[in-house]
A and B are shown apart, each in its own frame.
Chain A
Amino acid sequence: MSDPILQLKNIRKNFGAFEAIKDISLDIEEGEFLTIVGPSGSGKTTLIRLMVGMDEPSTGEIWLRNERIEKLPANKRPTCMVFQSLALFPHRSVGENIEFSLKIRGVGSEMRREKALELLDLLRLPQSYYGKRIHECSGGERQRVALARALAFDPEILFFDEPLSALDYRLRKTLEKELKALHEKTGKTFVYITHSLEEAMVMSDRIAIMKAGVFEQIDPAREIYSRPVSRFVAEFMGEVNLIPFKVEDNGLVGPGEIMLSESVKKDISGKLKKANATHGTIVVRPEFITFGKDKRADFSVGGQVLQDYELGSRIQYEVEAIGMDVVTVEKLRVDMFDGKPGDQCTLSWAMSDCHLIVGE
């Protein structure tokens, strides 16, 4: 593997007594699409401001290839950001917006125009937009102009600060896919921050989940979905059932009347013992739970269907399992539950579809 393009080493950022970033280290690989996801207040915006150069870390180092840059202001860094507000220049035309960085560098007007038109093509905006005013563009078009402006800068890394958050759902979905395609086409390194995991999953090569100034987990989307390292990550990644287990004198104990196969019991308690932990959580996604008793099932529990919700292609059920929290189950329409809310049912699922978080 080649050297990382951007390295954060033990970055901390304090605002007075408040620690926004607590000792973060991160390697960003050349050409990857990395998304940093976290709820508001997790420090993701602070982090991106440090990476772009709008703020200096309190301690720690930032390396861009072989250059140490944490004290370099934004205008001296070869990176560029697409703002949440887009921050287009309202007094300039679309063309002038795109050409801004070239004008700053003293590129001649002919070459600037050529580059701007090329970028309009790349972002699938008509060339006639060159002379258009910003306020004449729609929300989606403005996104593309902002992107074109950033690409004209030809940055080593392109940062995004939740630029899609203000758009309506359908347009956002389209632009997410376009962004991913653009990433492939340009081959540039993209670093994206968002609070929407859905957005992150569609686009990213890797996702970093951030919580209270630290990374909880940095992994590809699939890994984060199926093997979350903590309850926080598991819950952040959409609907999930978290089932706590603990080791007592008489062996492994689960909540309520949950039944475990002997082999799974041994497996879980073995893993907990190995980590010297007394607690563990089984993570099981709603789509892996089946109605009825499956012979291969490692877990099973009885319950009562409380409610069903139409999700379109799937149906979601809330089941009150005996002695447990409400269990969420999602089924494709073809496998829907043969009954109605209020009916009794049995739920079962396999260990191979679960993930064990040790110690929480």
Chain B
Amino acid sequence: MDRLNKRIAHFSAAPVLILLVAFFVAPLLVIGIYSIMPQKSFSLLAVPDFSSYNAIFVQGYLKSLFWSLVLAFSSTVLLFLLCWPLAYAMAKVFNRFTLIITIAVVVSLFVSENIRLFGWLLTLMKGGLIEGMLRHYTGVGFEGALYNVPIIIFGLVYVYFPFMLFPLMQGIAMIPEDTRQAAFDLGATRWQVLREIELPLATPGIVVGTLLSFVLAAGALAESKLLGGQTVIVLADDIETAFTYGQNWPLGSALSMLLIMIIATIAVFGISRVDIDTIMGRKQS
């Protein structure tokens, strides 16, 4: 019976497995092989020379990597600080209002990211919605708010808001109301309850939200391009250039591998740090 069940399980997992191999593992493998090919080669069969990896260190791509990580990190921290109170209210305080916020946030996802960013561009640029109106009515203008690092971070926070908000909300909803009350009852202040009870018990949500936001932001391209006006170059930008204008697929592949490696390390580290079963007090089987 057990063996039969196992066979059925294997059988029913097969389609997903095939899809994963064909569309996830195989391309990754191709990228991996390209990354060790000689620069500018279009063949997968040349003699590997790892020259692209060398180029990363020599040609200043580390700076782009640095910016990618800094932008991802700061936007993730900001997202967490912004989303926690709202997620908290949605999980614990609001009733029907939660649904309205959820719908509002989800609806914004129906419009493509690029178009929404263009919307901000028109709003914030010199002569745009804000500055243009101000100049029209007061006669006083200012340089637009665009083309700097903070506005890129703003863009990232804006675009990845749902990816932090909903996991956090889920995490906060998992905190049993009684444990909070019990901690208060035992003399804890609001801050102590947050530190000792709420943050640890919401960890699964925090980890998921943080990882999602960070991973997505580290690979983001449009924010720095559109809002940042290429004040800073991020790694994803370099990857795109390498594959298109540069026609240097091995370099693009090597840069991709670098980003994938860093993000995978962070993700694996993050996930291994939380044992969801222990946090939630469930029995391990």
Verify A75–B188 contact, CB threshold 8 A: yes
B275 to chain A, nearest CB (A): 10
B179 on the interface (CB 8 Å rule)? yes
Given A90-B279, A91-B281, the answer on whether A100 and B201 have CB atoms closer than 8 Å is: no
A134 on the interface (CB 8 Å rule)? yes
Hey, what's the 0/1 contact readout for A76-104 against B, CB within 8 Å counting as 1?
Answer: 00001101111111110000000011011
Contacts of B279 in A (CB 8 A): 90-91
Contacts of B183 in A (CB 8 A): 89, 100
Verify A100–B184 contact, CB threshold 8 A: no
Verify B185–A74 contact, CB threshold 8 A: yes
Bound CA span A101–B189, Å: 11
Hey, what's the 0/1 contact readout for B274-285 against A, CB within 8 Å counting as 1?
Answer: 000011111100
Q: Which residue of the partner chain, among B176, B184, B197, B280, contacts A75 with CB atoms under 8 Å?
A: B184
Verify A90–B281 contact, CB threshold 8 A: yes
Verify A134–B281 contact, CB threshold 8 A: yes
Q: Which residue of the partner chain, among A54, A91, A150, contacts B200 with CB atoms under 8 Å?
A: A91
Segment 159-184 of B: residues with Cβ below 8 Å from A: 176, 178-179, 181-184
Q: Which residue of the partner chain, among B181, B188, B196, B280, contacts A87 with CB atoms under 8 Å?
A: B181
A127 to chain B, nearest CB (A): 22
Contacts of B196 in A (CB 8 A): 89, 100, 103-104
A357 on the interface (CB 8 Å rule)? no
CB-nearest residue of chain A to B275: A91
Contacts of A73 in B (CB 8 A): 184
Bound CA span A90–B179, Å: 9
B192 on the interface (CB 8 Å rule)? yes
Verify A75–B187 contact, CB threshold 8 A: yes
B186 on the interface (CB 8 Å rule)? yes
Verify A85–B185 contact, CB threshold 8 A: no
Bound CA span A84–B283, Å: 21
Q: Which residue of the partner chain, among A54, A135, A153, contacts B187 with CB atoms under 8 Å?
A: A153
Verify A90–B186 contact, CB threshold 8 A: no
Bound CA span A54–B184, Å: 9
A195 on the interface (CB 8 Å rule)? no
Bound CA span A53–B185, Å: 8
Verify B187–A105 contact, CB threshold 8 A: yes
Q: Interface majority SS on B: helix, strand, loop or mixed?
A: helix
Verify B178–A85 contact, CB threshold 8 A: yes
Segment 141-161 of A: residues with Cβ below 8 Å from B: 149-150, 153
Given A85-B176, A87-B176, A100-B196, the answer on whether A75 and B281 have CB atoms closer than 8 Å is: no
Verify A80–B278 contact, CB threshold 8 A: no
Contacts of B181 in A (CB 8 A): 54, 74, 83, 87
Contacts of A173 in B (CB 8 A): none
Verify A91–B201 contact, CB threshold 8 A: yes
Verify A75–B185 contact, CB threshold 8 A: yes
Q: Number of contact residues on B: which range applies? A: 20 to 34
B173 to chain A, nearest CB (A): 15
Verify B186–A100 contact, CB threshold 8 A: yes
Q: Which residue of the partner chain, among A90, A101, A153, contacts B280 with CB atoms under 8 Å?
A: A90
Bound CA span A84–B178, Å: 9
Bound CA span A84–B184, Å: 16
Verify A91–B278 contact, CB threshold 8 A: yes
A321 on the interface (CB 8 Å rule)? no
Bound CA span A150–B186, Å: 7
Verify B278–A104 contact, CB threshold 8 A: no
Segment 240-285 of B: residues with Cβ below 8 Å from A: 278-283
Contacts of A153 in B (CB 8 A): 186-187
Contacts of A135 in B (CB 8 A): 281-283
A152 to chain B, nearest CB (A): 8
Contacts of A91 in B (CB 8 A): 200-201, 278-279, 281
Bound CA span A84–B187, Å: 19
CB-nearest residue of chain A to B282: A135
Interface centre among A73, A84, A104, A149 (most CB of B within 10 A): A104
Verify B278–A81 contact, CB threshold 8 A: no
Contacts of B184 in A (CB 8 A): 54, 73-75
CB-nearest residue of chain B to A134: B281
Contacts of A208 in B (CB 8 A): none
Q: Which residue of the partner chain, among B178, B187, B283, contacts A101 with CB atoms under 8 Å?
A: B187
Bound CA span A105–B196, Å: 13
Interface centre among A83, A91, A101 (most CB of B within 10 A): A91
Verify A75–B189 contact, CB threshold 8 A: yes
Known pairs A75-B187, A87-B181, A90-B281; list 5 more (Cβ under 8 Å): A83-B178, A86-B178, A88-B281, A91-B200, A134-B281
Interface residues of A (CB under 8 A from B): 52-54, 73-75, 80-81, 83-91, 100-101, 103-105, 133-135, 149-150, 153
21 residue pairs bridging A and B, Cβ less than 8 Å apart: A73-B184, A74-B181, A74-B184, A74-B185, A75-B186, A81-B182, A81-B185, A83-B181, A84-B178, A90-B279, A100-B183, A100-B196, A104-B186, A104-B187, A104-B188, A104-B192, A133-B281, A134-B281, A135-B281, A135-B282, A135-B283
Interface residues of B (CB under 8 A from A): 176, 178-179, 181-189, 192, 196-197, 200-201, 278-283
Task: Give the 6 A-B residue pairs with the shortest CB-CB distance, closest first.
Answer: A90-B281, A87-B178, A87-B182, A101-B186, A135-B281, A75-B184
